[in-house]
Structure formats: structure tokens, C-alpha cells
């Protein structure tokens, strides 16, 4: 197993890649979705993450090549691109008129990744995305983390047009709730997406890796969520069986799932060679009442999880996902350095 670190676009820099290398990483994962806070349309909900800059123009070969070169120059491999910009696939998620056009654009992205030998495209087939949590001093020593609490009023707030995954992709969209979508319809849209893209990914040597719904609850913002129990991965994999139809195994999210056994899920899906890469963070509680915590602090026995993966021959990358913000001049870096040190020690002991 290999150690990696994930970076948002604004964090992609020589210094941050050097930080990852210094902490023992050999691989990096990048989120290229660019979110702008300025110019948001009036009436946008205050909790959204911002507006996409991409406006439907899929990341170019040259842009990806530059990120990969920066990583390689610092002695790191670029393992995955994580998350698809809402403007690249809004009509795939919502079954709109530009669906075919957007599928073709994503095929181009996969071909660029294939040429560059970037092995994984992580995605989250979700309308509401990560939503409805509160931030507070809920981890050890009062470190700031997100928590999900039962019946918080935000959780039922309807999803508006022009917004997906908490990112505004269409500033001209009407300020009104989207039409109701059934769970069956949303599964059909996911099937359409996989049927179009998996064959291209497979021929390019790229794996599509599905992240479970975080928070893992059946409904959020009055929209269904597809991957909120471990067995839902089985359903996803069976839609288009292929090595290119794989999982972004987010252990923290799976631990949060009500009734789920994260070790059993790790065992089942690593035996199937379905895990493209792993997010490893810890949590206390289960949906709908949990909080994120330090990696050594939560309900999940992280060494046990990694032993299961190792025993089944999983040889991919593990990243810390997110960590509590530590009280110091560099809260993100300190949190990540702590998690990476812990993970590195466990990996060495396997
Ligand atoms: Mn995750």
C-alpha cells in the first residue's frame, strides 16, 4: 500500500507537494474544481462552496500535464483526479438536454488522462453532495471538525436549480427547487453515465472510482442518495462490470453508515479488486449523528482496516481524506502531518 495526500486546486504548489514528500507520501491526488466566492448570484444560499470557474470547459491535456509535471518534479506520482466539476456533468446528473455532449467531453477527459497515465478519476454521483453538517470544536482538544446532527433544518432545504454538490454552475438558473427525482431515475442516470464512460476508461487504462454519499443518508435536500450503505457498491459495480468501474473507498463515510461493518466492506471489495484508492479518516458515531475526529480517536480501528486491505493484496494509495484543524499557524498542514505520520507507522507495521 502507498501513502498519498489530496490537494484542492488552490493548494497545488511546489511547496505543498514538497510537504507531502517530506511527510512520506509517494503519491498525490488533486481536486481541480475551482470555486470562486465572488460574483455569486443574489439569493444563493450562504453555505454553498462558490461558483465554478470552468463553465463547462473540461480540463485540457496541457493543464493536466502541468499538474503531473509539478508532482513528478517533486518525486511524486499523480494517482488520481478527484471530483468532476458540476458544469462538466450537470445534465448527466439532472438528465438535461446537453447530456450527450457532456458525456463526449468527459470521454475526452479520460483520453487525456490515459495519454498522461493518470490512473484514476474519482467522482461522487450526488446531487446534494456534502451538505447539512455543522462545524464545531468536536474533536480532541476542541479541534474544529464537521459533525452531522439529527434533524438539522438545513438537511431538508430543497436543492435549487443551478447548484450541484454545493457549487453554483449556472448563475442564470431560476431561484427555485429542482423537480423531484426518484431513486430509480437517479440509478438510471448513473447507469447511463457508466455505460457511456466505462468502456472508454477501460481502453485508456483509467479507473472510474465512485465515492459514497457523504453524509451517508438516504435523502438530503429532498433528493435521493444512491451509495449510503456498503451493499450499494455492489449494485454500482454490477451495472457495468469492468476493472474500470471501481470504488473510491472512503472508510470514514462507510464507518458512518448506519449498521455498516467497515472491515467486512473492505474485505468484500478488496477481494473483488474493486477498490481504486482509499480515503482514511476516523469518526465517532453513525448517521444521522456523528462527528469527524482525529485518525487515532474514533470508532474505527484503522490498523485493523489496513490489515484487511493488505491481506487481500490491495496495493493502491491511501490518503487521509480530511482531518481536524489543529490550533496553530498551519491548521491544515498540522492535521495532515499528524494523520500521515500515523498512517505511515501503520503501513510500515504491516
Ligand atoms: Mn472521502
Tell how strand 35-36 and strand 50-52 pair up: antiparallel
Give the N- to C-terminal CA distance of the chain in Å, as an integer: 9
Q: Please give the distance, rounded to the nearest whole angstrom, from the Cα atom of residue 28 to the centre of ligand 1.
A: 15
Provide the pLDDT for residue 342. 98
Q: Please give the distance, rounded to the nearest whole angstrom, from the Cα atom of residue 212 to the centre of ligand 1.
A: 8
The C-alpha cell that represents 167 in the structure block: 457549487
Rounded mean pLDDT, 176-180: 93
pLDDT at 43 over 80: no
Rounded mean pLDDT, 59-71: 98
| Mean pLDDT, rounded, of the chain | 96
Q: Please give the distance, rounded to the nearest whole angstrom, from the Cα atom of residue 328 to the centre of ligand 1.
A: 24
Angle at 129 between CA 220 and CA 2, to 5 degrees: 130
Q: Please give the distance, rounded to the nearest whole angstrom, from the Cα atom of residue 254 to the centre of ligand 1.
A: 9
Q: Please give the distance, rounded to the nearest whole angstrom, from the Cα atom of residue 279 to the centre of ligand 1.
A: 5
| Contact by Cβ (8 Å): 297, 284 | yes
Return residues with CB closer than 5 A to ligand 1 (ion).
250, 279, 321
Could you read off the pLDDT of 1-15 as tens digits, one per residue?
Answer: 999 999 999 999 999
3-class state of residue 52 by DSSP: strand
**In terms of residue numbers, what domain contains 342?**
2-349
User: H or E element: which one contains 97?
Assistant: none
Q: Please give the distance, rounded to the nearest whole angstrom, from the Cα atom of residue 180 to the centre of ligand 1.
A: 27
The CATH number linked to 95 is 3.20.20.150
Q: Please give the distance, rounded to the nearest whole angstrom, from the Cα atom of residue 253 to the centre of ligand 1.
A: 6
Could you read off the pLDDT of 269-311 as tens digits, one per residue?
Answer: 999 999 999 999 999 999 999 999 999 999 999 999 999 999 9
- Cα 291 from chain centroid? 18
Residue with the bigger pLDDT between 79 and 43: it is 79
pLDDT band at 250 (very low <50, low <70, confident <90, very high): very high
CA-to-CA distance for 159 and 165, rounded, in angstroms? Answer: 10
Q: Please count the structural domains in the chain.
A: 1
Rounded mean pLDDT, 116-128: 98
Alpha helices in the chain (DSSP H): 14-22, 61-73, 86-93, 99-116, 183-204, 231-239, 251-256, 262-271, 302-311, 331-349
Amino acid at each position: 500500500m502507498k501513502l498519498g495526500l489530496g490537494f484542492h486546486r488552490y493548494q497545488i504548489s511546489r511547496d505543498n507537494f514538497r510537504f507531502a514528500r517530506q511527510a512520506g507520501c509517494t503519491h498525490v491526488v488533486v481536486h481541480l474544481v475551482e470555486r470562486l466566492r465572488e460574483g455569486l448570484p443574489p439569493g444563493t444560499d450562504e453555505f454553498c462552496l462558490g461558483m465554478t470557474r470552468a463553465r463547462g470547459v473540461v480540463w485540457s491535456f496541457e493543464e493536466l500535464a502541468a499538474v503531473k509535471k509539478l508532482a513528478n518534479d517533486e518525486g511524486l506520482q499523480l494517482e488520481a483526479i478527484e471530483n468532476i466539476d458540476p458544469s462538466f456533468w450537470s445534465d448527466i446528473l439532472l438528465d438535461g438536454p446537453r447530456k450527450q455532449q457532456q458525456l463526449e467531453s468527459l470521454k475526452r477527459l479520460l483520453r487525456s488522462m490515459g495519454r498522461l497515465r493518470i490512473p484514476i478519476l474519482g467522482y461522487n454521483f450526488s446531487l446534494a453532495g456534502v451538505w447539512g453538517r455543522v462545524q464545531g470544536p468536536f474533536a480532541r482538544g476542541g479541534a474544529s471538525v464537521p459533525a452531522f446532527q439529527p434533524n438539522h433544518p438545513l438537511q431538508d432545504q430543497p436543492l435549487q436549480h443551478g447548484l450541484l454538490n454545493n457549487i453554483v454552475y449556472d448563475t442564470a438558473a431560476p431561484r427555485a427547487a429542482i423537480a423531484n427525482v426518484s431513486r430509480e431515475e437517479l440509478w438510471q442516470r448513473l447507469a447511463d453515465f457508466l455505460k457511456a464512460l466505462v468502456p472508454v476508461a477501460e481502453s485508456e487504462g483509467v479507473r472510474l472510482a465512485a465515492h459514497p454519499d457523504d453524509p451517508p443518508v438516504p435523502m438530503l435536500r429532498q433528493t435521493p442518495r444512491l451509495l449510503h450503505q456498503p451493499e450499494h457498491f455492489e449494485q454500482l459495480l454490477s451495472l457495468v462490470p469492468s476493472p474500470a468501474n471501481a470504488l473510491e473507498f472512503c472508510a470514514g463515510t462507510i464507518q458512518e453508515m448506519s449498521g455498516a461493518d467497515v472491515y467486512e466492506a473492505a474485505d468484500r471489495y478488496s477481494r473483488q479488486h474493486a477498490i481504486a484508492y482509499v480515503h482514511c479518516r476516523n469518526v465517532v458515531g453513525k448517521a444521522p449523528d456523528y462527528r469527524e475526529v482525529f485518525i487515532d480517536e474514533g470508532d474505527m480501528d484503522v490498523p485493523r482496516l489496513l490489515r484487511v486491505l493488505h491481506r487481500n493484496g490491495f496495493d493502491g494509495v491511501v490518503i487521509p481524506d480530511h482531518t481536524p484543524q489543529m490550533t496553530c499557524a498551519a491548521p491544515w498542514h498540522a492535521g495532515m502531518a499528524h494523520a500521515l505520520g500515523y498512517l505511515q507507522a501503520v503501513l510500515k507495521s504491516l
